[in-house]
Structure 1
Amino acid sequence: MGTEVEFNNITVAATLAKDIRIVAERARNEEELRIGIEKLLEPALKKLGITTDPRYEKRISRTILTAAGRADALYGQAIIEYEPPGKLSTAKGKGSTKKQIEGYLLGLAGSGKQREDNLRRVAGIAIDGQSIFFVRYRADKPLPQETIPKEQLTQFALFEEEGPQGSFVEIGPYQITEESINEFLMYLRALRRRRLSADELGKEFGPEGDVAHQMVNALYTRLEECLTAPGHLFPRVETLYEEWKRIFGIVYGQEIAKARKDALALARLYHIDQFTDLKPLLFAVHTYYAFFMKLLAAELLSLQQGALLPSISEQIPGALSEVLQSSLHNLENNTWFEAQGIRNFLEADFFGWYLDSWNVEIEEAVRKLARCLAEYEPATGTLAPEDTRDLLKKLYQYLLPRELRHDLGEFYTPDWLAEVVLNDVGYTGKPEMRVLDPACGSGTFLVLAIRRIRDYAQSSMTSRAKGERELLTHILENVVGFDLNPLAVISARTNYLLALGNLARHMSGKDIPVYICDSVLTPQSQRTQKRPLAHQKDIPVPSAQKEFWIPEEIVDKGNLDELCRLLEHCIEAKNYDENDFISLCRPQLKWENPLTEQSLIVLYKKVQRLEKDGRNGLWARIIKNAFAPVFRANPRFDYVVGNPPWVRWGYLSDEYREATKKLWADYGLFSLKGMAARLGGGEKDFSMLFVYACTDYYLREGGRLGFVITQEVFKAKGAGEGFRRFRLGEEGAYLRVLKAGDLVSVKPFENAANKTATIILEKGMETSYPVPYTVWQRKKGVGNIDTATPLGDVLTLTTREELGASPVENKMSAWQTTSKGEGNALIKVKGESAYKAFRGASTEPYGVFWLKLKNVRSDGMLVMENLPELGKRDIQKVDNINLESDLVYPAVRGRDIKRWQANLETYVLIVQDPNTRKGYPESRMKNEWPETYKYLQQFEASLRTRAAFIKYYEPSDPFYSQFNISSYTFKPHKVVWKRMANDLVATVMSTFSTPFGNKIGIGTDTTALIPFEDADEAHYVCALINTSLIGAFIRSFSSAGRGFGAPSIINHIALPKYIPTNPLHGNLSALSQQAHRLATQGKVYEKELLQVEQEIDRQASKLWGLTDSELSQFSSFRKIG
């Protein structure tokens, strides 16, 4: 036991370093050095399970070390190259030694298909007794050919193999010190442990493996037992679950309803048979993931503090049950982490509930997880950092089905995209510059910022140990993250530790600066809200147990940390009443206002009561974290970066919408009024408020914000107008947009069609136009770009076009993005329209009003079936419906429209009186169309509960009333185009020949239309709308998808009134009619149709006064069909 204790002691590396230096002083050559050092190493090598390879070559003093039966170790073999004392202090000596090691590592890797992987699993160590350096292979760096020995090059030629794709990197040299020998021991231990990589962990700990099945099952089953147990036998479990559920509701909002359909798939994934609800199951999965991260973090810290054996994971499997539970209590209440120098690793964590409901099944699952994790090498992040990149991010993606993650709105930011933002914002990693990610998620931006700081500082370190301590201090003070999701915070803190690597050994009584808090609804923002009379001088902290009220005076004096420490101390001591608490606090907190003391008594009594009820939810730590936005933003940050939540206003939880309503108004983000506000408000995105709030709260004057954001903030009409004021309220700071990026076509997120954009802005300056606007496109033939692709490769796979962005109308209107040449041409197309466009008929639910014709009876009645599969609502399928033909019309949806033609696939039931703008009176329906009325009665309950019906109609109005139907709906000719597309594609729609007669076509709500009495006039307008000029103009300010092609786009186009006697107008009308005829003939006349379209472009350019040169810029926009 004595040897093991000594080996686990942090002094082992220091002792070994000292002894090696003594050996070096006495050694006369490398052979004596090797013998002396290996005698010192022998006890350590034995403990690590490493044997000396018999291929020792005496004449060159090289020892090969291999793992004992560990074929999948992080490093399968390590070569120690001994050199004469002092040789590595010269550039020539170091260079020749490195070259020797590289050649030998290539020889060990062998040849064949596994060569590349073998190279990743060999390591070289050079030591001369005074200095040491390490050599390892990096697959992402090219390997110079001159490095490869001649015999290896010959071998490549013989077998026609490709050489290595990467290169060897040198780490060091370092003087022989405690730190460098500790790193040396890491390499040796890596010989017996598996590589800590996302793919390896995914196989072992993901849902396909036994570990996850066993533990998630045990946790979920036990959680359900605790939540349903009579008499509240597990109050702390209930409390932690309720608090998680409260935050879950804020984080995911109304997305939860969308995700419920994925619950069964999640249950099947983990082999759970008895399943009731998504939330408890998700809580169990989150608990499993959190526990894994806690053990991993403990492994990392144990390693960095020098305790190489045994690790926490190695102790758990064989510990007695009581000892095991005690150890886990120390882990979960942060005692273990505090002993390692980290005060807050598990602060405000909700996932330790399993200890309050411990049973045999959970214990067995915990032991199994620990046993498997103990086989992995936590030093991978230090020895091979490329392997741990995105480690936890990828593991989480393994744990939850993609559909569920997407329905919950969970999309991880690819590293390359975060790199783009950091580059654009100008963050170089200068250690003194402060950077915040206020929606840090798993910590992508934080990790990249830390890497930049370490790269920046590496060349300027003089004393390694001193430099590391200073660097760690800079990082902990200046790289900060906030997130409301407790699971994300644990993940970010663990990733933060991984990124610190060997700097973590210098942690002592410090916080990892990642906090569970709301970046928008901060305690400071609560001061402007209405408060109860008894708490006028207090700040609320929300919780599942109602608010905790914190005295303003304590916060303003900067004493909140001390208050939370004293509160926790007194509660844990259990023998302090409120008077004892106040007596302890008074000299420390030094308040002056007597109301402060009363509020402190109320606060203490509440926490004390919760403790007595068994509902201790770590309240003091939750309160401390909630105030992080107040204290960590002093001084304010130089950079605020990240990927804020993209949640539409309508998908926010009801409580959060209400709580943030004042902030939206104060920042001027609600620019719409009346009906437009009711309709457009639901389209606003929470990321808009996030940008404004974070710029206001956290960014210094002159500081820069860089966010990944939805492109709709630039292009959306109505909903984005308030955002495009770029000013904090009426009198606040201006925001200058420095640059915007459009990555819609690249689709950077995993299998998601989000309209991705980036925004870079500076606080304190007014935006000037045009704003530089970069449009990214994938090169021809490039498919989806994997999220793990490095930025350099992404740049190779894409093109970037530099455009300018300016408001299409007033300063708040949608941005028009054009090149310089296009802008001069498109300004001639811009103007007032003589025509007004309308949205197509709203006939929801589709399952009621959309129909398929089966037959026409001899008496003229129609036999039809409804189409519930085309809608989102759950509508009963009805077959063989008998309907009068009067109210049934050909339906033209957006998907039915091609350029110059419309296909008929469905019919629509129109029961709206175009004059009264309500449904036809029920009395008339019963008399004139009784079968139609009878059919609709089946769905009365569904029709009355439509949100739009409740909002816009009275209960006494016909229950089948529809929307956006007026006299224009029934005009004989209409120019219709598809909305929510990526190009403007229009056709003239008149009557359709149906089996029950000629009927006017009805454009549905995925179309927009202009009504006409005259066909020639309709064709004139259709010709202009279908020009490449108008398509380019519309695309320049209307983003593809949801907002594209809205009726309002016509307001910006110069569409002169049709004059029958004007030859140019007549030509355009005739050309449109010719194009319609050719389009119906199919591909046979494709060439002729293209010629007609080109002639339409030429005629239209005359109408708008474009030159031939200006017109030629838009030929690429011409699309056929």
Structure 2
Amino acid sequence: MSSRVTTPPVDIDGIVACFKNSIMRARSEEDVRVWVSRCIEELILKPLGIMQVGKYEYTLISGARVDALYGHVVIEYKAPGKLSTQSDIQRAREQVIKYITQEAGNKAEYARYLGVIISDKIAFVKYDQRTDTWILRGPYDIRREAIVKFVEALRGLRRKPLDVEHLLSDFGPKSEVTIKLVRAFYDMIISLKDDSRAKLLFSDWMRLFRQATGYRPEELEELPKLASEYGIQGSVNYDALIFSIHTFYALLLKLIAAEITYLYGGGKFYRSYIAELDDAYSKGGLDELKRTLQELESGGIFKRLLSIENFLEGDYFSWYLDVFDKNLADLIAELARQLSDYEIATPQLEPEFARDLLKRLYQNLVPSDLRHRLGEFYTPDWLANYLLDEVGLSFENLNKIGEEDPLKPLNIRVLDPACGSGTFLVLYISRLRRYAEEHYLTDMLLRYVLDNVVGFDLNPLAVLTARTNYLLAVADLLAYSTGTVEIPIYLADSIMVEKQGKM
């Protein structure tokens, strides 16, 4: 991998101060535009190494004038106080939508744009392809969480968005790097010594996988097709093949989670975990890359930057470090190189977009017929939302519950005993976030979510996926944490009841 020039982290607190000072001095919309634009250029674009200069008072074909356009980020500035009434907010929203639709040219491009409205508050406007509606987030006070979202949008100007189509192209079952890594893992697994730690991890994973799915390879006629998709021929060890696919998917999950952790760790934007992995291999070779991956697989990154104690614990899919070699190092380096082209934080701009990404990727790595035979079915969002409403957890009902005591809805305990990828939990968290925003409780929301929104699953890969989705859903809230954090997704059999024996 080629080395890259290190760029300094973005100082979020400094940007917040610059925005606030600019707006305090401003007497007009023009003042806000001029002074906030300087903050953007000096404190965001330059540190991120983005050479793209904004287009100010940019005229669209229709003759409409956009205050500022940075690639696919459209900014509308307003004088202080001009986002204080519902009519002001609605007027600004409609202006931004008009600018985006005209700049995009056709509906297929709308989702690529983000509208930002900046006054003494900040709001975001985004098109949702699934519901064919425009979503308004905010207005928010000018504070760290809102500025992080804004910086993410600008940071994404130089990278691919983390969306399903791009992920499947680069990391789906037909991707060269996917096929090569799965085959490398497979070759290593079938060569493991019986008394090795890696073989013990594989065997224990197989025990849990059989228990969770009822897996019986002799009954699954879909397995030969799966082997051929990954170029594995002859007498195939299907247990090893499925474990190899799960190991690949788990590694990709952990790299994405580490990148999210770097975005939110320590109060500043760290450069990039992927870039650190790149530097480790470029400068220190095999041993340094292995050391860096060991910190990842032990959960050290998550503990060090976000104080998360249990993101990775006793992980079955770290076995490959016991047999790490030059070929595997090259392939993981190639995976990281492709992943470095992505703006990992894209889903954070609209948390609901994050839910489908990892789910859709796994659905394509393992054919649907085989997944269904193994009892793996994903709950569509519409059904999960319907069930949440039916059990009394609709947004409207949360508001009713909170009429007497605003904190009461946050104290509702929700357990999904077979949480899978975490669909129900993440959807419910999004409802709690909306409730907290509207009741000015965001700064205390994290602790209530972590205490009360819990999931169990018996499948190790499902647990890792759910923890990653949970992290995506709460990452920006972790700034409010004052102690250690435990993601409440647990590897557990919710059906088995322990019985007390007698001596």
Q: TM-score, normalising length from structure 1?
A: 0.40
Contact 2:352/2:430 (CA < 8 Å) preserved in 1? no
Contact 1:252/1:409 (CA < 8 Å) preserved in 2? yes
Partner-residue secondary structure (3-state), 1:132: strand
Contact 2:433/2:442 (CA < 8 Å) preserved in 1? no
Which amino acid counterpart does residue 438 of structure 1 have in structure 2?
Answer: P
**Is it true that 1:477 corresponds to 2:451 in the alignment?**
yes
Q: CA deviation at 1:251?
A: 1.9
Pairing partner for 2:118 from 107, 115, 127: 127
Contact 1:303/1:378 (CA < 8 Å) preserved in 2? no
Structure 2 equivalent of residue 190 of structure 1? 156
Structure 2 equivalent of residue 326 of structure 1? 291
Structure 2 equivalent of residue 516 of structure 1? 491
Which amino acid counterpart does residue 351 of structure 2 have in structure 1?
Answer: P
> 1:424-443 residue pairs with structure 2 within 5 A?
424-428=390-394, 430-443=409-422
**Is it true that 1:527 corresponds to 2:488 in the alignment?**
no
- 1:712-736: CA deviation from partner (whole Å, max 9, x where unpaired): xxxxxxxxxxxxxxxxxxxxxxxxx
> 1:440-839 residue pairs with structure 2 within 5 A?
440-461=419-440, 467-500=441-474, 502-507=476-481, 508-522=483-497, 525-528=498-501, 536=503
> 1:873-884 residue pairs with structure 2 within 5 A?
none
Q: CA deviation at 1:20?
A: 2.0
Pairing partner for 2:92 from 69, 73, 97: 97
Structure 1 equivalent of residue 143 of structure 2? 177
Partner-residue secondary structure (3-state), 2:18: helix
Structure 1 equivalent of residue 26 of structure 2? 27
CA distance 1:202–1:506, change in 2 (3 Å): farther
Query: What is the number of residues matched between the two proteins?
Result: 473
**Is it true that 1:45 corresponds to 2:5 in the alignment?**
no
Give me the whole-angstrom Cα distance separating, in 2, the residues matched to 1:409 and 1:60: 55
Q: CA deviation at 1:360?
A: 1.4
Q: CA deviation at 1:219?
A: 0.9
Q: CA deviation at 1:202?
A: 1.9
Higher normalized helix content (fraction of residues): 2
Question: How high is the sequence identity, in percent, across the aligned residues?
Answer: 38
Q: CA deviation at 1:319?
A: 2.5
Contact 1:438/1:482 (CA < 8 Å) preserved in 2? yes
Give me the whole-angstrom Cα distance separating, in 2, the residues matched to 1:140 and 1:250: 36
Structure 2 equivalent of residue 1086 of structure 1? none
Partner-residue secondary structure (3-state), 2:490: strand
Which amino acid counterpart does residue 451 of structure 2 have in structure 1?
Answer: E
Q: CA deviation at 1:427?
A: 2.9
Contact 2:177/2:335 (CA < 8 Å) preserved in 1? yes
Pairing partner for 1:139 from 129, 133, 143: 129
**Is it true that 1:295 corresponds to 2:228 in the alignment?**
no
Q: CA deviation at 1:506?
A: 3.5
Contact 2:208/2:458 (CA < 8 Å) preserved in 1? yes
- 1:5-54: CA deviation from partner (whole Å, max 9, x where unpaired): 7525xxx1111111222222333433333332222222421325251255
Structure 1 equivalent of residue 242 of structure 2? 282
Give me the whole-angstrom Cα distance separating, in 2, the residues matched to 1:299 and 1:494: 11
CA distance 1:285–1:254, change in 2 (3 Å): closer
Contact 1:447/1:495 (CA < 8 Å) preserved in 2? yes
Q: Which runs of 5+ in 1 are unaligned?
A: 67-76, 142-165, 462-466, 531-535, 537-1121
Pairing partner for 2:232 from 266, 272, 279: 272
- 1:263-293: CA deviation from partner (whole Å, max 9, x where unpaired): 3222211112355311111111111111111
Structure 1 equivalent of residue 405 of structure 2? none
Give me the whole-angstrom Cα distance separating, in 1, the residues matched to 2:83 and 2:333: 46
Q: Superposition RMSD on alpha carbons, in Å?
A: 2.5
The higher relative CO (CA closer than 8 Å, separation ≥ 6) is in: 2
Partner-residue secondary structure (3-state), 1:439: coil
Q: CA deviation at 1:328?
A: 0.9
Pairing partner for 2:9 from 7, 10, 27: 7
Contact 2:114/2:126 (CA < 8 Å) preserved in 1? yes
Pairing partner for 2:355 from 376, 389, 397: 389
Q: CA deviation at 1:415?
A: 2.5
Q: Which runs of 5+ in 2 are unaligned?
A: 399-408
Q: CA deviation at 1:418?
A: 2.6
Give me the whole-angstrom Cα distance separating, in 1, the residues matched to 2:216 and 2:424: 25
**Is it true that 1:238 corresponds to 2:243 in the alignment?**
no
Contact 1:255/1:409 (CA < 8 Å) preserved in 2? no
- 1:405-456: CA deviation from partner (whole Å, max 9, x where unpaired): 2222222222333333333332335321111111111112222222232233
Q: CA deviation at 1:120?
A: 0.9
Which amino acid counterpart does residue 78 of structure 2 have in structure 1?
Answer: E
- 1:923-942: CA deviation from partner (whole Å, max 9, x where unpaired): xxxxxxxxxxxxxxxxxxxx
Contact 1:206/1:212 (CA < 8 Å) preserved in 2? yes
Structure 2 equivalent of residue 799 of structure 1? none
> 1:907-922 residue pairs with structure 2 within 5 A?
none
Contact 1:135/1:169 (CA < 8 Å) preserved in 2? yes
Contact 2:29/2:77 (CA < 8 Å) preserved in 1? yes
Partner-residue secondary structure (3-state), 1:316: helix
Q: CA deviation at 1:373?
A: 1.7
Give me the whole-angstrom Cα distance separating, in 2, the residues matched to 1:444 and 1:175: 29
CA distance 1:318–1:51, change in 2 (3 Å): same
Higher normalized strand content (fraction of residues): 1
